[in-house]
A = this chain, B = another copy of it.
């Protein structure tokens, strides 16, 4: 599903790459942009596809994944609202992008978007800064997946999830237990952390038995003892 709409009521207007643009520049961008819905599980593009679009995540969550020749899978990044999609000046995509949840993106055909970058220095700077930030994220993730134990990975993952903006609010009292819904199923957590489904499940069970977390529902998590969880994460 594809539709056009104005930027005025955009969910991520202030947080995305559009933030530094004035009204005129925003108008130009709107003229090449399209809103697009992606259903949960749907693939936006496959590794090796021609790189035809750049854009922004508006809602939902997307995941970039890499595969070995024999089918082992690794999630290399998760994209949340306001994150940038695509690679300007690249001919081919390197990773498969699919939707973890029903999502919406704002997409621009790559070449016109590149023209925008060239004529709007502030836009280009923003995209460059995001690329460097994601580079640091990916490199940090390298440390996590290689040098941390399964227990540390799972605990760290829960801390990251609890720290996401969308989630902060659901605390009953300012320093009481936090409860939230994971936007991932077990297999997806395993993909992100470089573990198996079974190992993720066992680690969650251990944390529950230790009284550090609760698992009120299939996707729900309650952090009962954040300090202990942080200690567990190392």
Chain A residues within CB distance 8 Å of chain B: 64, 66-70, 72-74, 76-77, 87-90, 94-95, 117-118, 121, 124-125, 127-129, 131-132, 134-136, 138-143, 145-148, 194, 234
Contact = CB atoms under 8 A, between A and B. Distances in A.
* 9 shortest interchain CB distances as A-B pairs: A146-B194, A76-B139, A131-B131, A138-B138, A66-B143, A72-B147, A128-B128, A74-B143, A135-B135
Contact of A68 (B69, B134, B148): B148
Contacts of A125: 89, 117-118, 124
A142 B143 contact: no
Contacts of A140: 66, 76, 94
Given A72-B147, A94-B140, A128-B128, 11 more contacts: A66-B140, A66-B143, A67-B143, A76-B139, A76-B143, A77-B139, A88-B132, A117-B125, A128-B131, A131-B131, A142-B145
A38 to B, nearest CB: 20
B234 A69 contact: yes
A60 to B, nearest CB: 21
- In this complex, the member of A88, A128, A148 whose beta carbon has the largest number of chain B beta carbons within 10 angstroms is A128
A151 to B, nearest CB: 13
A88 B121 CA distance: 14
A116 B76 CA distance: 33
19 contacts: A70-B234, A73-B147, A74-B142, A87-B132, A87-B136, A88-B129, A90-B132, A94-B139, A94-B140, A95-B136, A95-B139, A128-B131, A131-B135, A138-B138, A142-B142, A145-B145, A145-B146, A145-B194, A147-B194
Nearest to A76: B139
A125 B77 CA distance: 23
A128 B142 CA distance: 22
A122 B88 CA distance: 14
B147 A74 contact: yes
A63 to B, nearest CB: 12
Contacts of A74: 142-143, 146-147
A139 B66 contact: yes
